[in-house]
Structure 1
Amino acid sequence: MQHGKYRFIVGFLALPLAMYALFVVWPFIQSIYYSFTDWTGLSPEFQAVGFGNYRRMLEDAIFWKSLQHSLWLVLLLPLVTLGLALFFAFMINVGGRRRKNAVVAGVRGSSFYKIAYFFPQVLSIAIVALLFQFAFNPNDGMINSALAAVGLDHVQPNWLGDPDLALYCVMAVLVWSTVGFFVVLFSAGMASIPRDFYEAALLDGAGRFTTFFRITLPLLWDTVQSGWVYMGILALGAEAFATVQIMTVGPGGPDYSTTVLPLYVYQTAFRDGQAAYATTIGVALLIVTLAFAAIVMRLGRRERLEF
């Protein structure tokens, strides 16, 4: 029976593992191999150059700028997004005033708020980036027009054209477009927490602040940790690339102020025709992503709570 069981498991997993190895693992191996060559991506001929691409990368000022911007995104974006999502989800589910039929309830209109927060998720990131590109227009964009309407004509920033503001504008768009997903995710987690816990805490005189940090957050910690890793990968991946590519001038902003690692990989490979060097930057991006995930999982490790 045991032999038949293992044969069934191997037969069941063989095809998925083979496809995963072919379409995921093998491209990674190819990228690492090409990073040691001078392949242009336009010709089948190339030569090995050893660690030449890696030495060039370490001396590349644009690479270090891109890495710095990506690290800013990976540190700030999960913090702001998950913090807002936890606050909104808590208020929607258990942060409302006590009512006649329920000791613990969300704020009034919580169903509407869930739909409103989730709405950006139904929009493509390309559409979101285009909409905010128009909104940040310094001449007739919605934001500057609103400032002028309330008498702040002298406050008219060149949002995406200012090297000090452009990256924060990108962050704001990414927060707006992703926070709704985590509001719904955390709301589902909070809905599974027994209301008896909150009622007992309220009887003991605990307030919202205490119940959040002593009940809600510990019981949602696994979900928050997974969300942190997901947001970090998003900040280092396609979402950040698409937003910067569509929204900012260049693209990459004035003086490379919004250039992130995925965008620099794309530009190096398809604009400059330096595929081997692009794969070298891609290897660095892979290392940063794995290091981030490992650090979050290690620092966020705690005893599992069951209820």
Structure 2
Amino acid sequence: MRHGQYRFIAGFLALPLGIYGLFVLWPFVQSIYYSFTDWTGLSPEFKMVGFANYRRMFEDDVFWKSLQHSLLFAVLLPLVTIGLALFLAFMINVGGRRRKGGPAVTGVRGSSFYKIVYFFPQVLSIVIVALLFAFAYNPDSGAINSILRGVGLDGVQPLWLGDPDLALWCVMAVLVWSTVGFFVVLFSAGMASIPADLYEAALLDGAGRAATFFRITLPLLWDTVQSGWVYMGILALGAESFAVVQVMTVGPGGPDYSTTVLTLYVYQTAFRDGQAAYATTIGVALLVVTLAFAAVVMRLGRRERLEY
């Protein structure tokens, strides 16, 4: 009976695992293989060059700039986005004042409306968001500088995306704005499942809002926060950062490579420069960085599971 059960499970999983291996694992294997060649991506002919691409990568200043920017995205974006989302979700669900005849723990007035407003950017494509902010950042006719002129700050007219010192921060602000709503809704759903008795007991013991958050809400939401941190880090290292930088910045990736990230550099090297083998080498480095990031977050975030 047990032998037949194992055969059934193996037969049930064979097709999904085969599809996963073909369309997910096999491209990784191919990329690693091509990173040891001189393949241009335009011709079927290539030859093995050993570690030449990796030596070139370690001597490439643009690669190190891109890596620095990607790591900055992976560290700061989850920190800011998840921190802001936790604050907003806590205020929506627990931060309101007690109303006469109502429960002791409640959210702020209009919490349902706030959830819709915060989640709205998720309805828009990231490309549309990037285009809208690219217009807003325009130093001559953009909304931001127009507002500054309207309030009398004519002398404060930054170039925004044209300034190497500001461009990367402008891109990061767009990514925070476009993703924070998803985590607000995610954390709100988690907070709604926490028994109100725990909050009421804490309030009766004299605990304030901050103590309630750090002693009750955050520990009970820790698994969700950890998963969200990994997910946001992968977004920051992957397609989200590529799309925003590609659409918004000069070059793209400028000025002077000040906004180039690894995903954009892979794309430019492969499709603009016709150096597919070198692009796969950078892609392998990005894979290592992503796996290392996820491993570090899961390791540092490991703690005893709390149940209620």
- Report the TM-score when normalising by structure 2: 0.99
Show the counterpart of 2:195.
194
- Give the deviation of 1:99 after TM superposition: 1.4
3-state SS of 2:277 partner: helix
Show the counterpart of 2:38.
38
Instruction: State the alpha-carbon separation in 1 of the partners of residues 140 and 5 from structure 2.
Output: 68
Q: Give the CA RMSD over aligned residues.
A: 0.4
Kindly provide the amino acid, as one letter, of the partner of residue 29 in structure 1. V
3-state SS of 2:22 partner: helix
Instruction: State the alpha-carbon separation in 1 of the partners of residues 191 and 7 from structure 2.
Output: 41
- Give the deviation of 1:280 after TM superposition: 0.1
Q: Deviations over 1:143-194 (max 9, x none)?
A: 0000111111100000000000000000000000000000000000000000
Show the counterpart of 1:258.
259
Q: Deviations over 1:201-256 (max 9, x none)?
A: 00000000000000000000000000000001000000000000000010001100
1:45-124 paired onto structure 2 within 5 Å: 45-100=45-100, 101-124=102-125
Instruction: State the alpha-carbon separation in 1 of the partners of residues 303 and 217 from structure 2.
Output: 15
Percent of aligned positions that are identical: 84
Determine whether 1:130 maps to 2:135: no
3-state SS of 2:55 partner: helix
Instruction: State the alpha-carbon separation in 2 of the partners of residues 220 and 174 from structure 1.
Output: 23
Instruction: State the alpha-carbon separation in 2 of the partners of residues 154 and 25 from structure 1.
Output: 54
3-state SS of 2:38 partner: coil
Instruction: State the alpha-carbon separation in 2 of the partners of residues 285 and 83 from structure 1.
Output: 26
Instruction: State the alpha-carbon separation in 1 of the partners of residues 47 and 32 from structure 2.
Output: 14
1:2-21 paired onto structure 2 within 5 Å: 2-21=2-21
- Give the deviation of 1:11 after TM superposition: 1.1
Instruction: State the alpha-carbon separation in 2 of the partners of residues 159 and 45 from structure 1.
Output: 44
- Give the deviation of 1:5 after TM superposition: 1.6
Determine whether 1:290 maps to 2:291: yes
- Give the deviation of 1:44 after TM superposition: 0.3
Show the counterpart of 2:282.
281
Instruction: State the alpha-carbon separation in 2 of the partners of residues 151 and 52 from structure 1.
Output: 57
Kindly provide the amino acid, as one letter, of the partner of residue 40 in structure 2. T
Instruction: State the alpha-carbon separation in 2 of the partners of residues 204 and 102 from structure 1.
Output: 17
1:151-300 paired onto structure 2 within 5 Å: 151-300=152-301
Instruction: State the alpha-carbon separation in 1 of the partners of residues 135 and 2 from structure 2.
Output: 63
Instruction: State the alpha-carbon separation in 2 of the partners of residues 290 and 246 from structure 1.
Output: 27
3-state SS of 2:256 partner: helix
Show the counterpart of 2:151.
150
Q: Deviations over 1:25-64 (max 9, x none)?
A: 0000000000000000000000000000000000000000
3-state SS of 2:17 partner: helix
Instruction: State the alpha-carbon separation in 2 of the partners of residues 176 and 243 from structure 1.
Output: 12
- Which ranges of structure 2 fall in alignment gaps of 5 or more residues? none
Q: Deviations over 1:47-102 (max 9, x none)?
A: 00000000000000000000000011001000000000000000000010011211
Q: Deviations over 1:234-279 (max 9, x none)?
A: 0000000000000001000110000000000000000000000000
| Structure 1 runs of 4+ with >4 Å offset | none
Would you say how many aligned residue pairs link Structure 1 and Structure 2? 307
- Report the TM-score when normalising by structure 1: 1.00
- Give the deviation of 1:3 after TM superposition: 1.4
Determine whether 1:25 maps to 2:25: yes
- Give the deviation of 1:7 after TM superposition: 1.3
Instruction: State the alpha-carbon separation in 2 of the partners of residues 67 and 25 from structure 1.
Output: 24
Instruction: State the alpha-carbon separation in 2 of the partners of residues 110 and 300 from structure 1.
Output: 30
Instruction: State the alpha-carbon separation in 1 of the partners of residues 4 and 121 from structure 2.
Output: 49
- Which ranges of structure 1 fall in alignment gaps of 5 or more residues? none
Kindly provide the amino acid, as one letter, of the partner of residue 261 in structure 2. V
Kindly provide the amino acid, as one letter, of the partner of residue 83 in structure 1. G
3-state SS of 1:298 partner: helix
